[in-house]
Amino acid sequence: GENVEQHPSTLSVQEGDSAVIKCTYSDSASNYFPWYKQELGKGPQLIIDIRSNVGEKKDQRIAVTLNKTAKHFSLHITETQPEDSAVYFCAASLEGSARQLTFGSGTQLTVLP
């Protein structure tokens, strides 16, 4: 089955700096890569996703890049703000197969004022 590794497990950045979280996956058949953000006391929420037919996707301050050859994908947050502090999870699956979604171990991002 799919195996997703996520690094780092914790990340602290100064407000305004950029943050990068990296994930690798094992199953070359995976073609859907979402990122979820979990704020304290809440459930995870989808913030951005990418499919294997594109290499990069942006949504305001967040972007995700995908390297299918190397089987890794990354989340980039620019101009970080205190409200970006949360746990971030990457995941991988075959598109449309939520049953097979495999999550990474999570990254606790702390944005320091």
Which residues are at the interface with other proteins (CB under 8 A)?
1, 4, 6, 9, 32, 34, 36, 41-46, 49, 89, 93, 95-99, 101, 103-106
Q: How far is the CB of 59 from other proteins (least distance, A)?
A: 14
Burial of 22 (0-12, 13-18, 19+ CB in 10 A): middle
Bridge partners (DSSP) of residue 89 are 36
In angstroms, what is the minimal distance from the CB of 73 to other proteins? 15
Residue 78 or 94 with smaller CB distance to other proteins: 94
Q: How far apart are CA 79 and CA 105, in angstroms?
A: 24
For residue 71 the two structure tokens come to 């089987």
CB of 105 to other proteins, least distance (A): 4
